[in-house]
Chains A and B, each alone.
Chain A
Amino acid sequence: MKQFLRFYAWGMEVKLYMSIYTAAVVFFQGITEVLQGRYAISVWVLLEMLLVSFVFAAIQYVILPAGEWSSRGRLAAWAVCANVLYIGSALVFGWFPGVPLWENIVLVAMLEVSLWAIWFGKQVARWRDTRALNRSLRKFQQEG
């Protein structure tokens, strides 16, 4: 039962991030397709994106377990994995065919900004938690 619950927790966490990352990649794929006058995405490409996002989310679960977002080494490993997996997959599977160089540069820049935004979101959550903790502590100390 304990093993199952652990697997279930793992599944919930990995599926959540897999969904977020898949949505982001599909969104950028959609934009590049529209810019080139195409309005369809292959089901195979969608499946590839889903699979790559699942692999990345699973790696993230190992590298950055809950709350470990302040370790610089782990963050660097996580960012390198994201770059290798997504840029590598885009090249291998040909996710963005016919995209000019400047658009490729913009896509890589967007990947980096997205990674920074995820890290920043985690930091903001921690700052807010620290503030809430101290507010509750002061209240407790005044009441006691």
Chain B
Amino acid sequence: MKITVEHCDTPENEVILRCRELDEEMLHILALLRSGMQSLCAFTEERETVLLSPQEVLYAESVEERTWLYCEKAVWRTALSLSELEARYEALGFCRVSRSMVVNLHGIRQLKSCAGSRIEATMRNGEKVMISRHYGPLLRERLGM
């Protein structure tokens, strides 16, 4: 696939995809562009809202039926459930790693194989997240192992 970046005087950034037909590769790129444009609406307990880019989120955790988004320096709440986050941002690397957690694979610094077939993920901010034995094989599959 040929990639061309043109610098021109345009009021708004524009992406044009040229193809004979919408094949798997093009559909994947479209999904990525669409999900990349989707901002995640998050808020604090004081209802202060913010639009986050999914790439900013390191992982999401469900605690007492509330979903929390953990970024590098802040924690936000979202109205979306873990299943919804996983479904919407799967193409961006969101992956379920336990019943109560979804991790952004791009936010992982390193992985470590642990006892009981579990995997320990060290996130970009140094936090450690444990991937359960049940979800380990799914993570390996996502990583193409």
Contact = CB atoms under 8 A, between A and B. Distances in A.
A140 B113 contact: no
A124 to B, nearest CB: 11
B144 A139 contact: yes
A40 to B, nearest CB: 44
Nearest to A143: B144
A96 interface: no
B38 interface: no
A132 B116 CA distance: 17
Contacts, number: 56
A3 interface: no
Provide the main secondary structure of the chain B interface.
Answer: mixed
Contacts of A139: 143-144
B106 interface: yes
A37 interface: no
Interface in B110-134: 110-119, 133
B113 A136 contact: no
Contact of A69 (B92, B115, B118): B115
A42 interface: no
Interface stretch (A22-30, A60-68, A108-116): A60-68
A140 B142 contact: yes
Nearest to B119: A133
Contact of B111 (A65, A68, A137): A137
B96 to A, nearest CB: 16
Nearest to B117: A67
Given A67-B115, A132-B145, 10 more contacts: A66-B116, A67-B114, A133-B140, A134-B110, A136-B143, A136-B144, A137-B111, A140-B142, A141-B106, A144-B105
